[in-house]
Structure 1
Amino acid sequence: MAKGTAWGIQRVQFESSPLHSTSRASELGFITCMPAMDMAEALEGERKNGYLVSKAFQGRRCAIVVAVCRKRMWNLLRFVLGSFLFLWPLLAESAALNDDVLGLIVFKADIVDPLSKLASWNEDEDDPCAWTGVKCSPRGNRVIELSLSGFSLSGRIGRGLLQLAALQTLDLSGNNLSGSLYPGLLQLASLRVVDLSGNNLSGMIADEFFEQCRSLRSLSLANNALSGEIPRSIGSCSTLAALNLSSNQLSGSLPSGLWSLFALRTLDLSDNALVGEIPKGVSRLYNLRSIGLRGNRFAGRLPDDLGDCLLLRHLDVSANLLTGDLPESIRKLTLCRRLALSSNLFAGPVPTWIGEMNNLEFLDLSANWFSGRIPESIRACRSLKNLDLSGNSLTGNLPPWMFELELNELSVSGNRMSGFISAAADAPGGRFLSHLDLSGNGFSGGVPSALGTFQGLRFLNLSRNSFSGSIPAAVLALEKVEVLDLSMNMINGNIPPEIGKAVSLKELSLEKNSLTGGIPAQIGNCSSLRILLLSLNNLTGPVPPTLSNLTDLEIVDLSFNRLSGNLPKQLSNLARLNWFNISHNLFSGHLPAGNFFNTIPLSSISENPGLCGSAVNRTCRTVLPKPIVLNPNSSSSSPNATLSSDSIRHKKIILSISALIAIGAATVIALGVITITILNIRVRATSAGSHLPAASALSDGYYSNSPASDVTSNKLVMFSGDDTAGFCAGAHAILNKDCELGRGGFGTVYKTNLQDGRPVAIKKLTVSSLVKSQVDFERDVKKLGKLRHSNLVALEGYYWTQSLQLLIYEYVSGGNLYQHLHECSNSSSLSWQERFHVILGIARSLDYLHRLNIIHYNLKSSNVLIDGSGEAKVGDYGLAKLLPMLDRYVLSSKIQSALGYMAPEFACRTVKITEKCDVYGFGVLVLEIITGRRPVEYMEDDVVVLSDSVRVALEAGRVDELVDGKVGGKFPMEEVVPVVKLGLVCTSQVPSSRPTMSEVVHILELIICPQESHEEELT
């Protein structure tokens, strides 16, 4: 018997039958095969008589593999072999294998396999147990495990898997599978483990998905794009021990059925959009070991019975909106190893009973409103490795016993702590500590030299305190330290030459201190150094040539010092250098030529009177040798003899020649000036006649029908389909200074009118050499052109040539927010309600951008426009993507021209730039709107950072003094206080401690009060 007959399979070709044209055939997975007269019923998915059908499409021909009726076949075999009953188990096993092969082949038919990982899956084989990713049971040879994790598969999960009746484990994680979840996927009775995490599955989870989960023990749908609510039927999965739905887009509140999963040991719902309170009843999950609810929008208090989950090892509710103090029942979680409560609104003192949780290894209470001193009871947590108390309102000193714990990481940054740091050189915990962050407090005294004995330190941040004295040489000589930040203190003295021993150092920040002396040449031994920040000190002397040995160097800021001399020419060999700021020093001579220095921003070299060259538009003096004049009558015996009349005459001749040369040079210069003047007059005349080259190029490029109209030709596109000739008629405005609206990091903005009289704003990009190719430029601009939001300035079109790029925006008539805050009189200033409305509008626009994975990068008050109705419109969004040669450090100058808006991670190469950078800029903007003060204010002998001064005023209870005086006395404090706090949370130094813009919008909508209540309180 042939193989096809043995399997009971026939291949039938349908070329002209109704099957060929029906769309239903393309949806077939497994359906019953009826006789020919009943084929139409079979196509509707009915299952009869045990027949099976699978399909494959090849061009226009629909090939359907028909499994002949097994029921009839087995009846015939039983009749023939009835006397051989001992063969029956073998026949049953053959039928089962038939199901497994068919099931896997049909599953493969719905899958795209770009790496040919499933090449071994051959439909002509009898046994699938040797196929890649397939594991069979040792006895029955049935498929019990299908593990295809990380195979780069795409496509959809079809119904073929339903034929694997013995399947126990299904792992399709880490692929690109898409589509919605098939509701009947869990109906296999033997299924125990399902892992579909790390795919692109979308849509809602159907309620019936969980209704047939039967004996399921573990389910992971993490890292997909699933939306909607968690179905109530989740309570049907009574045997479920592990449930992971994290990193999706699930919303709504927690279903009550969750608390009936008594076998549950691990629950992870992190990074979704779940809301409401965490309901009571969690104590019923007495087997629970781990709860992950991080990154949602849960509000209210933690349930009081949470501490009754006595087996709990891991609790993470960070990055929510939880309030109040911590339930005392948590003290009963003596087995808990990881407690993460960061980025919430918890308040009150840090509970002393935390010391009873003596198995804690990780404790994170950061970014809350905890106050008071650090309780000494934490000293009892001898297993503690990571302790993060940053971003609170803790006071008092840093207890010396902290260094007795065997901590790996300790952070108390961003609090109100003070006093001296007492760290003994022989502190037991010193040899374990790798991360120490004491920044943003009021610590004083000298930098503890004992820190130099902590040889395991990799990260040390003492910035933004009041440390004084000199830098201990031992601290700079730590061989493993990678990040050392002592900035914004009162440290004086020289930079010790021992810095050369820090061979692992990647970032050194000593800016805004009172350091003196020179930059030590030994810094050239720090071969791993990438970031060097020494600005705002009193350093003198030259830049050491050894600096050019640091081939990994990317950021250098030496501004606001008294450094002098010529810059080493070898600096131009630093290929990775993308930021070099030497402004406000005493440097002289030529700049290095090549690489970064060919395009160095003028702001980075300003206020150095001795610098010369094209970059500073100052001609360098050429030193020529003085002419040698010999006296023919002089002798060696009378060197001081008086010049003869002949020699005097000869000198006069020489002087005359020099004078003639000078006169000739002056004549050439004068002729050049006259020529340029004539050319300018002609250009202006052309502009007046609307025949400027730019306007001509716009018209010619758009209407050109020549073969040259390709990638290199001029091109004008209006997204609305308006008459582009109207724009060409007004294009002369791009060279008309009278039409200029403003200048920014990307370019200059002009106003012009279309032919129909409608005004538009034109941004003329001044970074042409950094713009992408036309194909990439157009692709990204068109994406931006599709964005439409009431709080975004609409991009209406663009113009491209190789040397000129224009972006055409809608014109917003009300000016920008900077003007309203800092240039308006009291009578025309924004009211509190208008300011709040502007804040909410900006938040909504950023939330919209972030949902589309667009980072603004350039958020500041001058980029927020106000229309005639008082609506905020954010501009300059997404432009950083057009300039691939600008990374974060150049962006910090080109785009973030106002220093105070720039998130701290811009200065750290190892930290990823995310949407949280925009959140930081938004937080600064909120404080600017409320106070009417600029983000950074430069005093005569100090620099005041707005967020720092606001935090101090808030902690001192002087919130009413923060509000801009132009607002007047009529503003609701119940709105002002939480908005101020929200702004401070957004400006957290740690990106993960900042909320998302979706959370910000939600909080603002909760804060806002009805207008009627305002009027009642103010009358």
Structure 2
Amino acid sequence: MNNKMLHQQHLITMSIFRVQVLVVLLVVVVVAVMASHCTGSSQLNDDVLGLIVFKSDLQDPNSWLSSWNEDDDSPCSWRYIRCNPSTGRVTQVSLDGLGLKGKIGRGLEKLQSLQSLSLSHNNFTGSITPDLSLLTSLRNLNLSYNGFSGRIPSNLLSMNSIKFLDLSENSLTGPIPDELFRNCSSLKFMSLASNSLEGSIPSSLFSNCASLGGLNVSSNRLSGTLEFSNGVWLLRKLRVLDVSNNVFSGTVGVGASYVHSLKELSLQRNHFSGSLPFDIGLCPHLTHLDFSNNLFIGAVPDSLQKLNSLTFFAASNNMLSGSFPSWIGRLSNLEYLDFGSNGLVGELPLSIGDMKSLNYLSVSDNKLTGGIPSTIVQCSNLLRIELRGNGFNGSIPAGLFDMGLEEIDLSHNELSDSIPIGSSRLFQSLHALDLSRNKLTGDIPAEIGLLSHLTYLNLSWNNLESRMPPELGYFQNLSVLDLRNNGFYGEIPEDLCEANSLAILQLDGNSLNGPIPEAIGNCSSLYLLSLSHNNLSSCIPRALSKLKKLKILKLEFNGLSGEIPKELSALDNLLAVNISHNKLIGRLPVGGIFQSLDASALEGNLGICSPLLKGPCKMNVPKPLVLNPYAYNNQRGRGDMGPQPQSSTPARLRHRRFLSVSAIIAISAAILIVVGIIVVTLLNASARRRLAFIDSALESIFSSSQRSGCPTTGKLVLFDSRSSEEWSQNTETILNKASEVGRGLFGTVYKASLGGDQGRMVAIKKLVTSNIIQYPEDFDREVRILGRVSHPNLMTLKGYYWTPQLQLLISDYAPHGSLNSMLHERSPSTPPLSWANRFKIALGTAKGLAHLHHSFRPPVIHYNVKPSNILLDENCNPKISDFGLARLLTKLDKHIINSRFQSTLGYVAPELACQNMRINEKCDIYGYGIMILELVTGRRSVEYGDDDVVILSDHVRVHLEQGNVLDCIDPNMTEYPEEEVLPVIKLGLVCTSQIPSSRPSMAEIVQILQVIKTPVPQRMEAF
């Protein structure tokens, strides 16, 4: 019994033990599951938390991230987020083009599984946070097209995992850190393009990034010698290399054959020199090759013909020489070919017709001769052809006008015969046709009116002879029509502007006659109308007042008559007008540009009423009614006294005699006035002789005092102190102590203290003695006139010091130097002038010169406008110095003119080289034009090379005609608005016109610059 009970108790005990064990196991399992669940939730919450923190630093104007909710357990359902399906962790964030603003905060650190982060095309600002290096799993990083600034963090790529890095199109500065490439063995593509990076490419990139297949550092400020043989060519897997638009130099050395996989090589717009690599043809996979805008010399390497895959080749704007390659036809896959602006000679080969894929061909501005090969019509895909600026002769191949070309430029050659008719295929495709400056004859084909898509037509400077074709009115899209300097005659077609698209109309230098048609008012888009040097007659039509966009009107050298319509004063956009050498009379319209025209725009008319003109003023008014002066008296006599006796005839004679006596008295008075003037002149001459005698005595006293060691005193006049005093110091000693800061045509400039070591710092110009006014009262009068000239952009004249032997001018000293020193003598540590400051200098200088030209009668001529006479204050505001010093010369003799040509070479207006020179405002405008060309290009007015001399205005004008004027812009100025720079360049070229009357006045220049700076929808594109 007891045993049985003990056994039962044992069984019960064992059961309880098993239950306890099961409970414990169950608790362990539950705890483990709960722990696992809690851990997973924590991981997901890290991603949610990180993205919410990242979002809190952003501005999302379009609410693209509205689905990002902090209450969600997982971000995997959010827009623009991708997760790993097995782990639930965020692996990709793609927020491209959402217009987001703000900075990259620290929230992204939580995304420890993130592999791809793309934030391109947004408005992120601030610096790139170095905390991105904590994302050790990151493979792709794209921050392009934002506003990131500052330097690239040196530890941004401290991990080995990164494969794709794009920081292009930002505002990053400073050098590329060498530490960036310590661990880059996985990097396959990197772009740092379009920033403001400086310095050289670190050598560690070439030695450590062995897997790099694409490198783009274009459009920065990178410089130095770019090593190819021991650098670039070490990247054996390189497929794409773009270092364009920098300041790299050196040669492209031998070694291209080692980069067997290279497909695209872009070296354009640098300073590379030497020959093109002769073994470039050993890169069989090359499709894109751009050597343009460098300093390459020599012949085109023959190995190029082996590049059967090449589709793009450009070598324009170099100094290549030798014959044009006869094997060019072997590049059968080439689509783009540009050899423009080199020195290639010979003829275009017939094999060019084998390039069936070619759609762009340019050999402009070389030295090619011969005819245009007829086989060129076999290039069936050709869309644009540019052969300008060569010596091509003969006829234009007729088949060329049967192709589907979009642009044809054959200008500046020696082509002759007539213009081909063309076919329906050309009528539907052609947009631009330029045949200017050839020797074409005949007339314009009537079929030209069928070019329905034509926007640009230039046939100027040929020998075309016919009536103005009425077909010109058929163009529906034409914006530029230039027929200058041909033999067109007849009247201007009435329907020329039916399409209302014409913006530029230039018909100068023909034999057009008749009136300007009233229908010209239909040209509502016109902003340049030039009809000068024709035989136009009748009145200026009032319909011109409908051209609200008109900026430039040139009607000079015609036979226009009558008065100028007063309605033209309502043309608010009008900036330049020339109506000289016509038969116009009457008053100028009140208001608008007509109140600031200078004499050159008005001269040569019958009788325009203007204070600028010396001729008679004729008004187009009815003649007054003339009554018989005796009629009223005779009627009174007959009425009061009855019939007059015969003695009335002697009375009439007595009246006539009375008039004769009056005339005699007037004549006598005139004679007395003339005699008085002669007497006064003789007295003045006598007084001057006495003054000359006194001056001679003073000179002898001065000479003896110098020999005896006694200092000579002179008259010091300071305008601001309203007093004159005797300067007892030895002036030569003062000038010897002063430091010379410049020399010019009129003297030497010194920096000196006016009152000893602690006095005011001033600039003292010691005038040359030759031809300087020697009479103190005349010198005082002229200098005081200059001292009264006050303007924010003029350096104020503070006073002068005078003795018969020494004349000094005193003005404020400019501690920040001249424009010349900022452009051409800048130290490497001094930053280059920005476009904003350059434009400020151009506009301020124009305002200062306009004040001199238009606020004084006679106008104050500077005579020596150049960058060394433009001084800059601390805010780069210009102040013109040395203005009006020609007033202090008794005469401008040949020595002075020759000295000016030598000291200011490049700034002298060409008309001053003539014997019968006439110094006027136009001479200043020429120098101003050269100055603003220097501002834009950073080059001197004249530069001497080893074999040639570069005249800046000619250099820029050639590039403008060739369509590559942007190549002239100062490479130190990496950021500039083209919509402002291009009109300023064109303004500079207009100011340097060889014909003085073609240069605008300074008032017009100020208005043009203000229009350029004003943000209007349509800016002036030509002058």
TM over 0.5, yes or no?
yes
- Alignment CA distance shift 1:787-1:432 (3 Å): closer
The offset of 1:793, in angstroms, is 7.4
* SS of the residue 2:110 aligns to: coil
The normalised TM-score by structure 1 is 0.61
- Alignment CA distance shift 1:759-1:296 (3 Å): farther
- Residue 201 of structure 1 corresponds to 197
* SS of the residue 1:159 aligns to: coil
The offset of 1:165, in angstroms, is 4.8
How far does the alpha carbon of each residue in 1:976-997 deviate from its partner, in whole angstroms, 9 at most, with x for none?
9x999x9899747624468978
Partner Cα separation in structure 1 for residue 105 and residue 825 of structure 2: 52
How far does the alpha carbon of each residue in 1:119-145 deviate from its partner, in whole angstroms, 9 at most, with x for none?
3522256436689559999xx994333
How far does the alpha carbon of each residue in 1:487-541 deviate from its partner, in whole angstroms, 9 at most, with x for none?
1111111111121314111111111111111111111111111111111111111
Partner Cα separation in structure 2 for residue 94 and residue 204 of structure 1: 41
How far does the alpha carbon of each residue in 1:22-41 deviate from its partner, in whole angstroms, 9 at most, with x for none?
xxxxxxxxxxxxxxxxxxxx
- Residue 602 of structure 1 corresponds to 599
Alignment of 1:927-946 (within 5 A): none
- Alignment CA distance shift 1:351-1:730 (3 Å): closer
The offset of 1:633, in angstroms, is 9.7
**Partner of residue 167 from structure 1, selected from 155, 158, 162:** 162
* SS of the residue 2:926 aligns to: coil
- Residue 342 of structure 1 corresponds to 340
Partner Cα separation in structure 1 for residue 283 and residue 366 of structure 2: 28
- Residue 229 of structure 1 corresponds to 225
- Alignment CA distance shift 1:257-1:408 (3 Å): same
**Partner of residue 383 from structure 1, selected from 363, 381, 384:** 381
* SS of the residue 2:375 aligns to: helix
- Residue 795 of structure 1 corresponds to 868
Unaligned ranges ≥5, structure 2: 1-31, 58-97, 696-713, 724-740, 743-748, 754-761, 787-792, 827-863, 971-1023
| Equivalent pair of 2:537/2:561 in contact (CA under 8 Å) | yes
1:176 to 2:157 alignment: no
1:536 to 2:530 alignment: no
Aligned-partner residue type, residue 148 of structure 2:
L
1:509 to 2:527 alignment: no
- Choose 496-505 or 316-325, whichever is displaced more: 496-505
The offset of 1:643, in angstroms, is 9.9
Partner Cα separation in structure 2 for residue 526 and residue 763 of structure 1: 55
How far does the alpha carbon of each residue in 1:671-716 deviate from its partner, in whole angstroms, 9 at most, with x for none?
9xx99x99xx99x99x9999xxxx9998344999xxxxxxxxxxxx
- Alignment CA distance shift 1:592-1:731 (3 Å): farther
| Equivalent pair of 1:335/1:359 in contact (CA under 8 Å) | yes
1:154 to 2:149 alignment: yes
Alignment of 1:106-505 (within 5 A): 119-123=102-106, 126-127=109-110, 132-133=119-120, 142-163=137-158, 165-186=160-181, 187-231=183-227, 232-424=230-422, 426-505=423-502
The offset of 1:472, in angstroms, is 0.7
| Equivalent pair of 1:917/1:991 in contact (CA under 8 Å) | no
- Choose 724-733 or 414-423, whichever is displaced more: 724-733
- Alignment CA distance shift 1:915-1:763 (3 Å): farther
| Equivalent pair of 2:296/2:320 in contact (CA under 8 Å) | yes
Alignment of 1:536-555 (within 5 A): 536-555=533-552
The offset of 1:788, in angstroms, is 6.1
- Alignment CA distance shift 1:785-1:360 (3 Å): closer
How far does the alpha carbon of each residue in 1:49-86 deviate from its partner, in whole angstroms, 9 at most, with x for none?
xxxxxxxxxxxxxxxxxxxxxxxxxxxxxxx9xx99x9
* SS of the residue 1:896 aligns to: helix
* SS of the residue 2:465 aligns to: strand
- Alignment CA distance shift 1:286-1:809 (3 Å): farther
- Alignment CA distance shift 1:124-1:375 (3 Å): closer
The offset of 1:403, in angstroms, is 1.2
Partner Cα separation in structure 2 for residue 988 and residue 301 of structure 1: 23
- Alignment CA distance shift 1:290-1:257 (3 Å): same
- Residue 8 of structure 1 corresponds to none
How far does the alpha carbon of each residue in 1:611-665 deviate from its partner, in whole angstroms, 9 at most, with x for none?
1222325574677955879959979x99xx999999x999x99x999x99xx99x
Partner Cα separation in structure 1 for residue 365 and residue 487 of structure 2: 27
* SS of the residue 1:160 aligns to: coil
| Equivalent pair of 1:859/1:918 in contact (CA under 8 Å) | no
The offset of 1:423, in angstroms, is 0.6
* SS of the residue 2:569 aligns to: helix
Partner Cα separation in structure 2 for residue 803 and residue 754 of structure 1: 23
- Residue 828 of structure 1 corresponds to none
**Partner of residue 990 from structure 1, selected from 956, 961, 974:** 961
The offset of 1:782, in angstroms, is 4.0
| Equivalent pair of 2:154/2:178 in contact (CA under 8 Å) | no
The offset of 1:208, in angstroms, is 2.4
| Equivalent pair of 1:341/1:365 in contact (CA under 8 Å) | yes
Partner Cα separation in structure 2 for residue 284 and residue 92 of structure 1: 54
Partner Cα separation in structure 2 for residue 721 and residue 902 of structure 1: 28
| Equivalent pair of 1:515/1:538 in contact (CA under 8 Å) | yes
Alignment of 1:771-790 (within 5 A): 782-784=818-820, 786=822
| Equivalent pair of 1:785/1:796 in contact (CA under 8 Å) | no
The offset of 1:220, in angstroms, is 1.2
- Residue 718 of structure 2 corresponds to 699
| Equivalent pair of 1:120/1:132 in contact (CA under 8 Å) | no
Partner Cα separation in structure 2 for residue 287 and residue 450 of structure 1: 46
The offset of 1:722, in angstroms, is 2.9
Partner Cα separation in structure 2 for residue 179 and residue 562 of structure 1: 63
Partner Cα separation in structure 2 for residue 762 and residue 474 of structure 1: 65
The offset of 1:91, in angstroms, is 9.7
The normalised TM-score by structure 2 is 0.60
Partner Cα separation in structure 2 for residue 190 and residue 643 of structure 1: 129
- Alignment CA distance shift 1:279-1:732 (3 Å): closer
- Residue 69 of structure 2 corresponds to none
- Alignment CA distance shift 1:509-1:320 (3 Å): same
The offset of 1:327, in angstroms, is 3.2
Query: Which is higher, the Rg of structure 1 or of structure 2?
Result: 2
- Residue 72 of structure 1 corresponds to none
* SS of the residue 1:722 aligns to: strand
- Alignment CA distance shift 1:808-1:452 (3 Å): same
How far does the alpha carbon of each residue in 1:360-410 deviate from its partner, in whole angstroms, 9 at most, with x for none?
000111111111111111111110000111111111111111111100001
- Residue 712 of structure 1 corresponds to none
Partner Cα separation in structure 1 for residue 805 and residue 173 of structure 2: 45
Aligned-partner residue type, residue 139 of structure 2:
I
- Alignment CA distance shift 1:122-1:667 (3 Å): farther
Unaligned ranges ≥5, structure 1: 1-79, 106-114, 705-716, 765-773, 823-837, 846-855, 866-875, 877-889, 907-911, 927-973, 1000-1019
Partner Cα separation in structure 2 for residue 986 and residue 760 of structure 1: 42
- Alignment CA distance shift 1:132-1:667 (3 Å): farther
| Equivalent pair of 1:433/1:457 in contact (CA under 8 Å) | yes
The offset of 1:329, in angstroms, is 3.9
Alpha-carbon RMSD: 6.3
| Equivalent pair of 2:818/2:869 in contact (CA under 8 Å) | no
The offset of 1:93, in angstroms, is 14
